Structure 1
């Protein structure tokens, strides 16, 4: 199991991006969180198989979503901690 921390920038707050990310995570069996950050970015922490995380990282660019515009994504990977049960949107 691996852990990916992704930070998305662009038009990602107030446009349903966290819900979009949550659906993608659930569809790929990932555990973790997604939350808005004070600087306008969105931080995603996801744990799962490397294959699932790779596909998830591709999907969360949200290409084709009319309101969402991700213009940058910083990704760091490491070992999973197992601290998450399910995937949650943090408010």
Structure 2
């Protein structure tokens, strides 16, 4: 984990399974992530899931992860697989792919 001016910067990858495609899920996640000051992406996967990669302040990342896990998003969430990693610093903005 990187530290920048007193904050811990982290990255997580979440695979969100459920009714998360064609319901505005990626746009919603992108909007929330940007408001939290995070960078990353939300990408549709061929199996109907969405992969979310987010990096930034640890507290903000935890807020976004909590949102994904609790299912307070468009559509519905059956399962979320979360993997936490050290920040890599290779992302810019938050994109919907």
Q: Please say whether Structure 1 and Structure 2 have the same fold, judged by a TM-score greater than 0.5.
A: yes
Q: 1:55 aligns with which of 31, 43, 63?
A: 63
Residue 20 (1) aligns with residue 49 (2): no
> Where does residue 88 of structure 2 map in the other structure?
81
Q: Deviations over 1:49-81 (max 9, x none)?
A: 111111111123442x5x510111000001111
Aligned residues: 88
1:10 aligns with 2:14: no
Q: For residue 52 of structure 1, give the secondary structure of its aligned residue in structure 2.
A: helix
Aligned with residue 31 of structure 1, among 17, 39, 53: 39
Runs of 4+ in 1 over 4 A off after TM superposition: none
Between the aligned partners of 1:56 and 1:4, the Cα distance in structure 2 is 10
Describe the SS at the equivalent of 1:72: strand
For structure 1, list consecutive stretches of 5 or more residues without a partner in the other structure: none
**What is the alpha-carbon distance in structure 1 between the residues aligned to residue 42 and residue 90 of structure 2?**
14
The CA RMSD over aligned residues, in Å, is 1.2
